[in-house]
Amino acid sequence: MKHIKNLTLRAILAAVICVIAPLSIPAGPIPITAATLIIYIVCACTDAGFSVPAVMLYIFLGAFGLPVFSGFSGGLQILSGVTGGFIIGYLPCAAVISFACSRFPRKKYVYPLSMAIGTALCYLFGILWFLFVGETSVSSALGTLILPFLVGDVIKIAVACAVSIPLRKKFSNILKQ
């Protein structure tokens, strides 16, 4: 019974990501997306055994064509395009946040710190992929892919912390049942 409950929770978390993540604002080659916000929240509220498979399922569903990526897009062409590295970067981002917040759930500074580290990993994957696909310079990639998004990501981290810190205890209670 517990196995079914755990599978169901993973599927629900993936569904929540799939519903929220496509919301975006076009901003050049990389849109401002709600994906990172919802991934921060899901990962800070649950253990890596729940959040990482949920993020992985989200990526697989998008790769198979469901319109769950930014701007309600989907398909392998998105993953092979300039945003593909950021989407793949959600996995290490999710792992870092989930691990840190699970290991130290009562230390509130861990939440924004883990989200900042997870975001840096996501940026790293995105830039490396962009350099590979876009054949551009590192400084150009940083100026296009990182600098315009820093303030927005800080705001997303603040919102995610405000939401996930109180929710973490509720999710812990659900997982214990």
- Which phi and psi angles does 47 have, rounded to 5°? -75, 160
**pLDDT averaged over consecutive 10-residue blocks of the chain (177 residues)?**
85 96 83 93 94 97 94 86 90 98 95 98 92 80 85 96 92 69
Maximal CA-CA distance, the chain: 53
Query: What is the DSSP annotation of 56-106?
Result: HHHHHHHHTT-S-BTTTB-SHHHHHSTTHHHHHHHHHHHHHHHHHHHHSTT
Give the global pTM.
Answer: 0.92
